[in-house]
Amino acid sequence: MSSRDQFTTKIGFILAAAGSAIGLGAIWKFPYMAGTNGGSVFILLFILCTFIIGLPVLIAEFMIGRRGQRDAVTSFKIQAPKTPWYLIGWGGMIVAGLILSFYSVVGGWILSYLGRSLSLQLHAANYAELFTSIITSPFEAVFVQGLFMLLTVVIVAAGIKGGIEKASTWMMPLLFIFFIILVIRSLTLDGAIEGVKFMFVPDWSYFNSQTFLMALGQAFFSLSVGIAVMITYASYLSKTEKIGNSAVNVASMNIVISLLAGLVIFPAVFALGYTPDQGPGLVFIILPAVFEQLPLGGLFLTIFFVLLLFATVTSSISMLEIVVAIAIGEQHEKRKKIAWLGGMIIFMIGIPSALSFGILSDIHILDRSIFDFVDFLTNSIAMPIGALLISIFAGYYYTKDISRQELATSNLMFIIWYIAIRYISPIAILIIFIQGILPLFQ
């Protein structure tokens, strides 16, 4: 039996965990959510909700994983023997696999755009028609989804130290560098200041319950909590590391990347006469049209899709890792075999989602396409339930002494976290859950 892999450095763990959090939620979803909910007010509420509601749950997941030093299922079995708490681990594994099944579809779209950009086929394209042709083509949609899963499997099969940590420690710094390049380009456009004002000068007419709920949901989901991914990553962390500081770093990096994504997109959108409320098509339809009007726009567009690919891959490897970690248990020598097998199964499960905009577009579940239904099932139902259970476990099953010892922080910070994990986060999660399932009853 081979020994269990571990992160070799604290920064390697932070970058991997931040990479899990910084995915399509930060770069794809955050800009269009901010764009359709008034910009600055949404952003302010998002930052507050991230630290007040999301961060305590993230710390709880780090605590459970680092204390257990095993996969998510075994960690709960060790810490709560002869109880059903371990089902959180199994639930997280299933939900992570389902999320990856449709997440890989979007990853495939990014590969399609990147391939066209590198081969100079994006110039002067009708981007609405291009996007439609990609997502409705059965062969292309499934082929690029398979390529994306292949990339994910190769990294996870190489292990924590040789795969996930190594990939994260060069992809995440490049992510920041590429973002800075694009932000500088965007901010130097004539009229860019309007985009900056949209992000940072509050329009208080948007300060309402709907904007708060949207910001709360974005803050919560952007941290990858609720599916035991962070429990899995933290299990590879040394007992000497301070998890509170690591969690703050991860949450802060997620906010910074989200703001950088906004600073790339909104100044350029305003400078070139577009409106920010374009919805999900902002990245795949509006942004390429914006870049096309810039000098060296093709180069900057290629950089953007490389950046988007990096962010998507760092998230996808965390989702496959929880599946692999639970499946191999203590038989670490089986990692490669299980990574390939798990990747293949998730790829097969994702094929209906890949085809749901084309030949399976007539199939609907609860008035949703297959893709949208799996998204709804995982994001609106499964993740809030998982996060609520994790909050209850850390807030009520752990004794105060265990929590204080694991968190190893000042008395004031511990009290703030303790109140948040027992009362504030669970209530907020219930609000998100109720808001998410309300459409089922309307």
The pLDDT, as a whole number, for residue 416 is: 93
The pLDDT, as a whole number, for residue 439 is: 76
List the structure tokens of 190.
Answer: 């004539």
Q: What is the pLDDT of residues 276-318, one digit of tens each?
A: 666 566 778 777 877 777 777 788 888 888 888 888 888 888 8
Residue 78 included in any domain: yes
Residue 3 included in any domain: no
Residue 442 included in any domain: no
Average pLDDT score over residue span 33-53: 89
Residue 1 included in any domain: no
DSSP per-residue letters across 326-385: HHHTT-GGGHHHHHHHHHHHHHHHHHHHHTTTTTTTT--BTTB-HHHHHHHIIIIIIHHH
How many other C-beta atoms lie within 10 A of the C-beta of residue 177? Answer: 12
How many other C-beta atoms lie within 10 A of the C-beta of residue 349? Answer: 16
Place of tokens 């910074």: 256
The pLDDT, as a whole number, for residue 278 is: 63
3-state secondary structure of 263: helix
Say how many domains are in the chain.
Answer: 1
Q: What's the predicted TM-score (pTM) here?
A: 0.88
Q: What are phi and psi of 223, to 5 degrees?
A: -95, 0
Please check whether residue 53 is in contact with residue 427, taking contact to mean a CB–CB distance below 8 angstroms.
no
| HSE value, Cβ hemisphere, 13 Å, CA-based, for 202 | 11
Average pLDDT score over residue span 88-109: 93
Whole domain around residue 30: which residue ranges? 10-437
Most confident of 2-16, 337-351, 400-414: 337-351
List the structure tokens of 402.
Answer: 């265990």
- Domain containing 81 — which CATH number? 1.20.1740
DSSP 408: -
Residue 55 pLDDT class (50, 70, 90 cuts):
very high
DSSP 228: S
Query: Does 1 score more than 60 pLDDT?
Result: no
3-state secondary structure of 190: coil
Percent of the chain with pLDDT over 70: 96
Query: Does 56 score more than 90 pLDDT?
Result: yes
